[in-house]
Amino acid sequence: MRSATIVMSFLLVTLPWDYAAAKQVPLSCSVRPKRNTPAAKLSSLATVSQADAERTAVASLKASAPTTVTEGELELEHGCLVYSFDIRVSGRDGVEEVLIDAGTGKVLSHTHESAKREAAERTKEKELQR
């Protein structure tokens, strides 16, 4: 019994804090547009600017190395209106993906995407655009 407790404690400490995002659990957000809301209307629903959201995303990383935002966009993720940023941190492989609530400006999710996962995501996005 004691070893099971130790293993569970280890897992809780080592799992990423954004486990819900990785498992596709719906986000808790302030702006949930109705289905079929035209993409052109989404920006009018955001109360936070993209520039403010980007500053929050970069600051949330608390990176000591230089960072570069490689992509940033307003999008729907799990039914939530969010700003999604891909941020490279110098000296690290892959990118950090940070989702910011477009209504409150709060960080909703932070996941690390390896270079391999990032490439697969880009391929999937290109297929969806066809």
* Distance separating alpha carbons of residues 74 and 85, to the nearest angstrom: 9
Here the tokens at position 81 are: 């209106």
Predicted confidence band of residue 114 (pLDDT cuts 50, 70, 90)? confident
5-44 tens-digit pLDDT: 443 443 333 334 333 444 455 679 999 999 889 989 999 9
CB 99 within 8 A of CB 77: yes
Q: What pLDDT, on the 0 to 100 scale, is given for residue 129?
A: 78
Mean pLDDT along residues 76-80: 93
So where are the chain's domains? 41-130
* Distance separating alpha carbons of residues 63 and 1, to the nearest angstrom: 39
Q: Which helix (H) or strand (E) holds 77?
A: strand 67-77
| CATH 3.10.450.40 holds for 41-130 | yes
Say which range, 41-45, 55-59, 79-83, 123-127, has the weakest mean pLDDT: 123-127
* Distance separating alpha carbons of residues 67 and 108, to the nearest angstrom: 20
* Res 48 pLDDT > 70: yes
Tell me the longest C-alpha to C-alpha distance in the chain: 56
Whole-model pTM: value is: 0.73
